[in-house]
Amino acid sequence: MPELRYIQVLLPLRLKWEPLYSCSLPEGEEIPVGTRVRVEFAGKEYVGAVTAEAAREAALSIGENRIKPIIGYADGLERITTEELALWRQVADYYLCTAGEVFKAAYPQGKVEEEETKARINERLKQRLARKEEQIARARKEETRLRYIEERDRILEEMSLRQAQGPVNEPVEGPELSDAQNDAYSKIKNVFKSWKPALLRGVTGSGKTEIYLKLARETLDNGRNVLFLVPEIALSRQLEDRIREFFPEELQVVHSAESASRRAEASSFIRRKPYLVLGTRSSVFLPHRDLGLVIVDEEHDQSYKQDNPAPRYNGREAAIMLGKIFGADIVLGSATPSLESLYNCSVRRFGLVDLNRRYFDAEDSDVEIIDTIAERRKNGMVGSFSRKLIDRVNGTLRDGGQVAILRERRSYSTMLQCQECGEIIKCPSCNAALSLHKKDDGTERLVCHYCGRVFEYKGTCSKCGGALRPLGAGTQRIEEEVNTLFPGARVARLDSDSARNRKLETGIIKDFAERKIDILVGTRMVAKGFDFSGLSLVAVLQADSLLGQQDYRADEQALQLLEQFRGRCGRRTEKGLFVIQTSQPDHPVYRSLLGDSGVEETVTTLLAERKLFGYPPYSRVINAVVKDYNLSRIGLMTRDLAAALKDSGMKGCRIKGPYSPAVDRVAREYIRVIRILLPKDRSLSVNKKCLSDTVDWFEKERKYVGHVSLDVDPV
């Protein structure tokens, strides 16, 4: 009779414990960690992963009547690797969630269903093949036997096509590096010898990508694999063509815009073949194998952070965890590194490598700051554009150059106000202004950028019937103004609205790179690491919106975005021009862009301010975010939770709030935030556990489960 075993099973649920189940195995047979099994929990069936075999004595102490047998094995589903389990536990520990929540993020229901479908198809093909082999063996006539052989070969061909194909071509050599790039490459290799991540601080246009590709080529030649992270899907699409030149067989592109079947194929490929994965943050949760190099490009970018749902992780930090699990080399790259990474270099956790020369030895772009208040006083504004900027654009177009215009708000108009009663039109489900959008056919609609609801636009106030006046120009309106001001120019727009259509987005990027578009209008997407050889003028409209955020990181993020955007132009031998339109021309962020050492001085100042006020990187910030449909209840609960946190015994921590965020109601739920600042000392891990335990206790004690979430390192 098979021996009864007891196993711990990780479920894709928010559980801080792993339930015990029983299964029968023949004597001497083991059930490996990572085996996928089907189990019942709370009346539902789940596919879980075996994490350990429990001792019989421990199981019996719980009581056999409380331990259910597994429903069965998840036949055909790949085993979860020990490295995956290790990463999930580290992410859960750091971001104060459960390993089950990370499991759910790595293997969402759609991915599991795709795996199951593939397993069923493969099983049917095996059965068809077995029957065909039997028919061949029993065939009496030669022509019948030959027909069966042909049918068998077609089945084998179909099975082969369903398997990930490995490299068939000779490896392509990596790119040639300049002297400056070779020097940076050698310094990175020296940092790797100390088992530290390397931070490559390279000015825009310095050729960081070529260094990444040479490191990747070397890693693959040594029999190990590569993960290349980028913050945005749009950026991965431009990089894809460049990388495929050197890695035509190994490249796998993985991000949320790919179909579920395509992502499943990529997972199958990397389990068996040499690979270079180019992907966004979720790519860290692929079933990586023999990982030898982790690249995090634009490491400062806030798009690496996931806000909802749990795990609320940062892809950069998760990638570093993953690299250390595999003992892989880690390189982070940026022209404007995060203050956290620069701090890690100063305390020697990272090794800093500078690359200060552009690939084509082009000079930094000139910076011109235009005071829009002064221009408006002397009738120097035409809509959103100053006459000075109009002259600069016309001059650039006459010289055959291209222009990129950044406006950090999509839509036609960012808000609407009644001209009679002054009412700002807001979403009925959110405390946020509705934006006016125009469709291609000219029809207008109101859209909430928080809950996504769409409303009919009637042009009149629902309160008094007065006419509505658009306030604030979004990218759609800027595009309209550009077409009016520069009638002979070829104009396109790139924002999250146009990026929803992959074909359109890819076409816009390609056409701009090939100089088929003269002026590109867009949100911060246009400031990311694109390489456009003809771009000689970039301009920011209403730049003050970058600074008007209620966040201690606002100045840092504004400086990073502006420096990134500045680096998009003048990337060959020509010197570019960067124009900033602002009503605060003397703001330190703008002034720092004017001098040779201004940015460095600003970074030093920002770090000093962070240290003075005890903000990261000198502390750890965790937000306790409370959501509730009941306004009076959320007020009471957040006050009580703040009091409980103050009495929890956390050492040296500071608790601020509760307070309301700028948008304090989304999808009918009210939002309140309690900010906890923990000192980065030996008490950090104890304090984090105390914080998590206090929130768990509060939710159970006050019957408030599901209303509180912890966001570690919020952006």
CA distance 102 to 197: 24
CA 707 to chain CA mean position, Å: 25
Q: Which residue has the higher pLDDT, 439 or 18?
A: 18
CA distance 675 to 654: 8
Same domain, 642 and 540: no
DSSP state of 553: T
Q: What is the pLDDT of residues 75-84, one digit of tens each?
A: 889 999 999 9
Same domain, 502 and 644: no
Domain boundary among 320, 355, 390: 355
Same domain, 315 and 212: yes
Give the dihedral sign, CA 425/426/432/435: negative
Domain boundary among 161, 189, 221: 161
Give the dihedral sign, CA 700/704/706/712: negative
| Cα angle value 384/661/233 (rounded, 5°) | 60
DSSP state of 184: H
At residue 362, does pLDDT exceed 90? no
At residue 56, does pLDDT exceed 90? no
Same domain, 198 and 287: yes
pLDDT band for 506, please (50, 70, 90 cuts): confident
At residue 141, does pLDDT exceed 80? yes
Same domain, 374 and 508: yes
Same domain, 481 and 586: yes
CA distance 370 to 425: 31
Q: Write b or e for each residue in 234-245: b if 16 or more Cβ atoms lie within 10 A of its Cβ, otherwise e.
A: bbbbbbeeebbe
Same domain, 593 and 517: yes
Same domain, 124 and 205: no
Tokens read off for 311: 């795990």
CA distance 510 to 241: 11
DSSP state of 419: T
Q: Tokens 């002397």 sit at which residue?
A: 378
Lowest mean per-residue pLDDT among 141-145, 308-312, 485-489: 141-145
Q: What is the mean pLDDT of residues 13-30?
A: 86
Domain boundary among 576, 609, 642: 609
- Supply the CATH number for residue 652's domain: 3.30.70.600
Residue 94 located in a structural domain: no
Residue 98 located in a structural domain: no
pLDDT band for 333, please (50, 70, 90 cuts): very high
Residue 498 located in a structural domain: yes
- Tally of structural domains, the chain: 5
At residue 116, does pLDDT exceed 90? no
Contact 202, 354 (CB under 8 A): yes
Enter the pTM of the model: 0.90
Q: What is the DSSP string of 560-617?
A: HHHHHHHTTSS-SSS--EEEEEES-TT-HHHHHTTSSSHHHHHHHHHHHHHHHHT-TT
Reference 425, options 452, 477, 464; nearest CA is 464
- Supply the CATH number for residue 519's domain: 3.40.50.300
Same domain, 274 and 147: no
Whole-Å CA distances, 226 to 236, 283, 673? 15, 11, 39
Helices (H), 67-177: 82-94, 99-106, 109-138, 142-161
Instruction: Give the range of the structural domain holding residue 187, as residue numbers without chain letter.
Output: 179-355
Q: What is the mean pLDDT of residues 29-33?
A: 88
Tell me what the pLDDT averaged over the chain comes to. 89
Reference 673, options 639, 619, 623; nearest CA is 623
pLDDT of residue 331: 98
Among residues of the chain, what percentage have pLDDT more than 90?
Answer: 60
Residue 507 located in a structural domain: yes
Same domain, 511 and 649: no
Residue 418 located in a structural domain: no
pLDDT of residue 529: 67
Residue 467 located in a structural domain: no
Q: Where are the beta strands (DSSP E) in 230-339?
A: 251-254, 276-279, 291-297, 329-334
| Cα angle value 521/523/525 (rounded, 5°) | 105
Residue 635 located in a structural domain: yes
Same domain, 604 and 665: no
Same domain, 199 and 314: yes
Q: What is the pLDDT of residues 197-207, one digit of tens each?
A: 999 999 887 88
